[in-house]
Structures are given as C-alpha cells and as structure tokens.
Amino acid sequence: MLKALSVRNVVLIDKLDLDFSKGLSVFSGETGAGKSILLDCLGLVLGNRVETSLIRKGEDKLIVSAVFELKDQDNPFFKLCAENDLEIEQEIIIKRSITIDGKSKIFLNDQPITQRLLKELGSYLVEIHGQFDNQGLLNPATHLSVLDNFGGYQDKVVDMVQAYSQYKTYLRQLENAKTDFLRNSVDEENIKHWVDELEKTDVKVGEFEELSKKRIEAMNAEKIVESFNVAYSCLQTKDIASLMQKAQSAISKVNQLTENKFEDISELLDTALIDFDEAVNRIEQASYQISHNSNEAESIEERIFALRALARKHQCDVDDLPTVLQNLHNKLLSINNSENKISELNELMIRAKEEYVTKATVVRNLRLDAAKNLDTAVAKELPPLKMEKATFVTNVEPVAENMWSKDGMDSVFFTVATNVGSEQGPLNKIASGGELARFMLSLKVNLAQKSFVETLIFDEVDAGIGGATAQAVGERLKKLSNNVQVLVVTHSPQVAAFSKNHFKVCKNSFEDTTTTSVSVLSKEQKQEEIARMLSGDIITDEARAAAKVLISKC
C-alpha cells in the first residue's frame, strides 16, 4: 500500500508531505483547488510521462517520491524486480526528478531504473480509476487473467501452461526436423555424388604437403642430379677409398708395435670408411630417386590440381577433406533416419496437443462458470449505484487454433450496456465517465480479494450522482477498503462521510503567488468540511447537523 507521498515544486505545490494508512481515504476541496495535481504527482512515481511544464514557476527542478509497502510476496512486482537485478525489501521507495532542461532521473530504493520499467512496476502498485482511465480493467488484455484470478483455479491454469509448453516444444522440433529433411533431401543426390568423388580421390591428411615437396624436387630435378653427379665424381677422384684403406693398414701396424695405443685412430678410420661407402651409396640412390620423380612431375601436378579443386568446391583446406567426407556420410545417415525421427516426433506432438486441448478445455469450462458468477456478482452491485438498467457480461469466446497460446484456447473480454436494448460494447467506449468509475467500483468490490494491487484510487467516482446512489457508492468504497487501501477524490458528502481519513485540498493566494496545500482533518474538521460540501460557501447549522447525521450512519 501507499505509505507516504512527497512533492516538491510541482505546478501549484511548493512543498507537500503526506502520510497514508489503511482503509478509505478521501480528498475533497473546491473545484480547481488542485486535487488533480495530486493524482498527477502520484502518476509520476508510477511511470507516467513527465514534462517540464509541471515544474513550478521560478524553480529549476521538481521532485516527487513515494513510499510503498507490499505484504503479498507473490505480487509480480517482486519477480519483475528480480528479473531486472533490483534489490528490494518490503518497503519500496520510488523517487523521480526532472530539471528545467528536461533531464530526468528515476530511482527505486536508490537504484536507477528506466521510465518504461517504472511504468510496468507501477501497474502492480496502484490502480487509478477515473473518467480518463485507460489502463487496468479497461485494457482487454487483462481480462483473461482477471477472470482466472476471480475463479481461483490457478492450479488448472498452471497444468494447461505446462501442457502447452510441451506441445510447442514437440511442434517446434517436428517443424525443424521436417525443414532439415526437405533441405537435405533436395541435396541428397549431390551429397551422394560428393561422397563418391571424395572416396575415389582418397585424400590423406598431410598428402598435399608431401606432394608440394615432390613437385619442387621434380621442378629442380636436373639441377639436383647434376649436383649429385659432381659429388659422386669427387668421391671417386684419386681413389680416396684405396688411400683411406692404406692409411688404416699403416695405423694398424703402429698399434701392433705400441700395444694398441692408437686404437682410437684406427676406429675413426673404420667409421670414416663405413660412412664414405654409405655416402657413395646414398648419392647413387638419391640421384636415381630424383631422376625417377622427375618422370612423375605431370602426375604430381595433376594430383595437386585435383586436390585443390575439391578443396575449393567444399570451401576448406585440402587436409580438411577427410573431415568433409565424414560429415557428408553423417548427413546421408541423418537423411535415412529422418523419416523415423519425423514419425516419432509427430506422434509425440499429437499426444502433447491432445493433452493440451484436454487441460485447456477444463480451464474453458471453469472460465465459463467463473464468468457467470462474476456477471451475477457485478449485477447485484449495479442497481444500488443507480445503474439498474445497465448490464455487464464476461465473454468467453473460443479462438482459432493458430491463436492458441499458454493462456488457453479462449478470448476473454468484458462488455457493458448502460441502457435496456443497447448493444454490448467495451467499457471505455460505452460508459460515460461517472458510469465507468461505478462499473470499476462494482468490479473491484468483487475482485479485490483476488488482486495483487494493494492500493486503488477512484477519481470522482461520484460524478453525476447524489442522494441514495452516492450513499451506496460510499458503502461499497468502505467495503472495498476492508481488503485494500482505497483513495477517493470526491465532491460527494455522502461518500466523504464513510472515510477513515479525510484530506482537504485548498488553494491559497498571496500577492502574486498561488499554492496548493493539503491538510489532514480531525473528526470535528471532517464534520465541518462535509457541512461545506452539503451547503456551499455559507455553512449553516442545518448543514452541520446533516453532516453529523451522515457521519453517524457510516
């Protein structure tokens, strides 16, 4: 509920601090005193648009703040705060300011938020019903949830929502499987061709690099062989091998005479002879190999060209072609398995759809019963409010299958007719301002215990009525205030008499300055104010007596 409202520099209001409590609170005052400005101020902390024209003349900034307390932890307000990483406690402080240059700031418990988020959060804090109301119950989008809350079958709604989620999951998977199947089926022949082509090519990882090396050798084969020949000729010059053997024989004799003192020299010569022979053999082999590879230059070039062409076709590196082949094999396998998968998903989808329809039908029947009960309850409230010819209807209509949703298979909307024989129509199109407020009141009396909103504001709910009708409006407002906090802007003494708290709005002028002030009335002041509302500027003893009687009856 709303606990406090603080206003600084808003139009006629210089400084204002108000505290609120439970029950029914009324605001009264002369026309033009500034009661509507108070609602504008409250609207600012609920997310309404703010303009610099609201800043009091001569000031450079306006500030409005409000303190709320929410007891119902299931209120969507808390969930929305959590989704937006806002830390809150039971007491909620909203502060909003705007400077003369148009810069605006909004804080929720000292945490900056956007106007858009504030607007959404504000809808869970306060509902304002008046002649120009265009939110809350006047928005058909809210009617379905209002009816469900009134009916009290939320467990069945949850079952339906879960069934719908499962149905949509299988439907989405089925559609994706069909899409994949159609796309892959179109490419199936191409995939088979690509697989056959890759398998015949038989690409090996690292092959391209090896071929590139062979290609370079083949291109330089003549020069390489020529160099090998030079090396070979050098090793054959002056019979180097024979000379090394003679040296080895000489060192052997030395070792015989010195008891193998120089055996290490002999071993080095042995190794040198072996390496010499190995080098000669390798030169001969390498020269032959290069000569042989030069003859394969054309086939190497063709293989490289073929591998590059395949890589370009599949937009990958040559070494990735084996992976491409495996992926293509997997696609073919997927195509072969798709029909079975589609059949299985279709069966799951059909069963899930049947389950959803079953649960949604249960909810529909509950909605139809709840609609009758709500219509009956509202109908009982209308005659005392001088709307005995008016009718209220809760429409529960089936929607096309393509419009089924987590909310069920129904469209729910409220319609009214204010006169006998008149066509039913939307609340805000058919009812006048005063009728609209009374329709809202009759609805709220029946919905109060089911709503999350803990503060309701009615702006001139008594417009165009008086006497017994105004008395009935006051009675219902008081009844409503047993469950929620109710604030009422009124010109009706019959309504004001039912108030627990009475605020008087006054406009004061001094020299060239005009300000609006609000005062909390004592019991005696309340009686005097109601007497003024009964008689006008001149308060008579008869008016005071009548006011006393009015209050005593409440």
Using alpha carbons, list the distances in angstroms from residue 318 to 145, 196, 346: 61, 17, 41
**Residue ranges covered by each domain of the chain:** 167-339
Select from 536, 457, 430 the least CA-distant residue to 5: 457
Q: What is the pTM of this model?
A: 0.62
Instruction: Kindly tell me if the per-residue pLDDT of 464 is higher than 50.
Output: yes
486 DSSP β-pair partners: 24, 456
41-56: buried (b, 16+ CB within 10 Å) or exposed (e) per residue? bbbbbbbbebeeebbb
433 near 388, Cβ under 8 Å? Answer: no
Specify the range with the lowest mean pLDDT, choosing from 236-245, 261-270, 439-448, 529-538: 236-245
Q: Model confidence over 360-413: pLDDT tens digits?
A: 999 999 999 999 999 999 999 888 888 888 999 999 999 999 999 999 999 999
Q: Model confidence over 56-107: pLDDT tens digits?
A: 988 999 999 999 998 877 788 998 999 999 988 778 999 999 999 989 999 9
Q: Model confidence over 18-59: pLDDT tens digits?
A: 999 999 999 998 877 778 788 889 999 999 888 898 999 889
Distance CA 88, CA 91 (A): 8
Specify the range with the lowest mean pLDDT, choosing from 155-164, 243-252, 291-300: 291-300
Q: Between 486 and 251, name the one with better pLDDT.
A: 486
- Looking at this protein, which amino acid is placed at residue 210? E
Instruction: Kindly tell me if the per-residue pLDDT of 217 is higher than 70.
Output: no
Q: Mean pLDDT, the chain, as a whole number?
A: 85
For 514, half-sphere exposure in the C-beta direction (CA atoms, 13 angstrom radius) is 7
pLDDT at 132: 43
